[in-house]
Chains A and B, each alone.
Chain A
Amino acid sequence: MTEIQVVRNILEANDQLANDIRNEASKYRFFLINVMSSPGSGKTTLLEKLIPELQKRGVKVAVIAGDITTTADATRLARLNLPVVQINTELFGGDCHLGAEIILPALQKFELKDLDLVIIENVGNLVCPAEFDTGADLNLVVISVTEGEDKPLKYPLMFRVCKTAIINKIDLLPHLKFDVHLLEKNIRKINPQMEIFKCSGLTGTGLVELVEKLYLKINQKNSS
Chain B
Amino acid sequence: MHELQIAQNIVKITEDEVRQSDLTQSISAINLKIGKMHAVIQESLRFSFDVLKRERAQLKQAELIISEIPVKIRCRTCHKTQLITEPIFVCSDCSSTDIEIIGGNELYVDSIEYEDQ
Of B12, B87, B97, which is within 8 A of A153 by CB?
B87
In the complex, what distance in Å separates the CA atom of A2 from the CA atom of B111? 10
Indicate whether A192 reaches chain B with its CB closer than 8 angstroms: yes
With contacts A4-B111, A7-B110, A156-B87 known, is A192 near B39, CB below 8 A? Answer: no
Q: Give the chain A neighbours of B109 by CB distance below 8 A.
A: 6-8, 10
With contacts A156-B37, A189-B89 known, is A10 near B2, CB below 8 A? Answer: no
A157 in contact with B107 (CB, 8 Å): no
In the complex, what distance in Å separates the CA atom of A102 from the CA atom of B77? 41
With contacts A6-B13, A10-B107 known, is A160 near B112, CB below 8 A? Answer: no
The size bracket of the interface on A is 20 to 34
With contacts A1-B113, A131-B38 known, is A8 near B98, CB below 8 A? Answer: no
Report the nearest B residue to A95, measured CB to CB: B5
B113 in contact with A3 (CB, 8 Å): yes
B17 in contact with A160 (CB, 8 Å): no
Output the least CB separation between A122 and chain B (Å).
13
B9 in contact with A96 (CB, 8 Å): no
In the complex, what distance in Å separates the CA atom of A160 from the CA atom of B100? 11
In the complex, what distance in Å separates the CA atom of A191 from the CA atom of B70? 18
Indicate whether B90 reaches chain A with its CB closer than 8 angstroms: yes
Q: Give the chain A neighbours of B21 by CB distance below 8 A.
A: 4
Within 8 A of A (CB), among B44-86: 86
- How many residues of B are counted as interface, with CB atoms below 8 angstroms from the partner's CB atoms? 35
Indicate whether A108 reaches chain B with its CB closer than 8 angstroms: no
B1 in contact with A96 (CB, 8 Å): yes
Indicate whether A13 reaches chain B with its CB closer than 8 angstroms: yes
Of B2, B10, B17, B32, which is within 8 A of A97 by CB?
B2
Binding site for A on B (CB under 8 A): 1-2, 5-6, 9-10, 12-13, 17, 21, 28, 31-32, 37-39, 86-90, 97-99, 101, 107-116
Binding site for B on A (CB under 8 A): 1-13, 95-97, 99, 125, 127-128, 131-132, 153, 155-157, 160, 188-193
The 10 A-B residue pairs with the shortest CB-CB distance in the complex, in nearest-first order = A192-B97, A156-B87, A128-B2, A96-B1, A189-B88, A6-B109, A3-B113, A10-B9, A4-B112, A10-B107
